[in-house]
Structure 1
């Protein structure tokens, strides 16, 4: 007994291709929709709201529009110039050290060194720690009178500086703590970049008699450029916006010698000047944008040209 098979219209290859293209065109839109929604809710809306509230004198229950009054008052802050210079010094110092140290440590940890897995874990471990916890820890270790570091220096008859209490040392001491905590991320990025370089390049260069220095200069550094650009951008943004580790160690002191833009803004918020602190956040956002957008463009343009 035979069953009748319905005559279905044949699907041509052109129609199959068109269906695949429609499916492919719809899939990315749905895939990115949750990310776009999160971006709008947690970044775009707060950012534009900040621009508006920076033009008001506001509390939790009321907001009065005052125009650019908050900005005028913010730029009259006597600590603004010092905090801006400190921000630039801190950002350049920490990002530069992370790039150099991260690259050197990555070279070591991608070579056949004994205990490589253990050393990788040790280098990355500080990244997992709370920044506030790290600040409190080093504030205790570097205490000028009861800290362990100065106690050890005293045993050997070495000077015992006031790491966080000496105005000439405070900012650099905080930068050292920041470098210790953040160099693990830079090392991880550099390791990924170095490991991704095809081993055939090194083998061919060794056959041609290249020295280790020539391998580093002609292969490793140029081909790890993607990782270098990433570390520079991420560490410099972090340095320009740094606040928590500074507040946990010195609170911007002694005096105002280790104040950065973020700590000045927070002090205004503490004093109840919410509109003024919001204006400061907008200024900080514009400063970071004005520095990072041209820098990112130059680094990525040079990267493409190479």
Structure 2
């Protein structure tokens, strides 16, 4: 599966169309590669909002966007449809994402636009695709259109980055507006490559380079990241944990699965997420990011130290309190110990 597909999926699609359009395109591409009868996709979107009179205009916009994207497929080493997809073709492609998954067989897991607020604000968002075989994540691809290849650009607000990009264009793909990370189970390596038109047009596909987690094991030197949204993450608890661990650096609050990219690339050392009571974590919010961190040398478990279970379908069932991702085993062990010490007073 060509990771460059994430480039044309992430350019200038209005948010109201983006989720359905991305899901339709990736579903169509996967079906072309693996066949209609052999594809099972667990994805976030359905077509309910696109049905009826109220959804007609939105649906037509999605159809137009999908065909516009697929018309450029050859630029990225993919085959375009022989003719434009019709309304039913697009609806069928989106509905391919209705699989419930399970412990047996191969299932693709897709979050077409992870980080809606980040997308709207021109901040971080991600297109995330993973493959699960018999309950184990074996492949992950994470497209982060606004996550620059150069770490130092993370210290600037996005609009400033855009301004500087126009004044000083990328040279030979050394850095770009965004990046794609990809890996497969057992490879012991996560790869990162730029998301930039000039690189693709020049055919410089060899610019992929290893992404490696940080070597920091002292919490006092570590940076932790957490979700921006407070609705499904308890910031006060993670702030308390940060103090218990002795973390001195300012937390990195990031929209979307770009948090997993930050750990895998060595831009941060700890990711903690503790959802409020009643919230259930979904597999498409974590599958691609988990394997990308693991193959880059990091550790991801629940707060009890157990691996995340992707064999139960749409939800991460049996999750012990929350999710902890770290750059290494030592700092991971210290983080879990801090959670155990603080949990009784967390009110979660």
Q: Shorter-chain TM-score category?
A: under 0.3
User: Which structure dedicates a bigger proportion of its chain to helix?
Assistant: 1
Tell me which structure has the larger Cα radius of gyration.
1
Q: Which has the bigger relative contact order, CA under 8 A and spacing at least 6?
A: 1
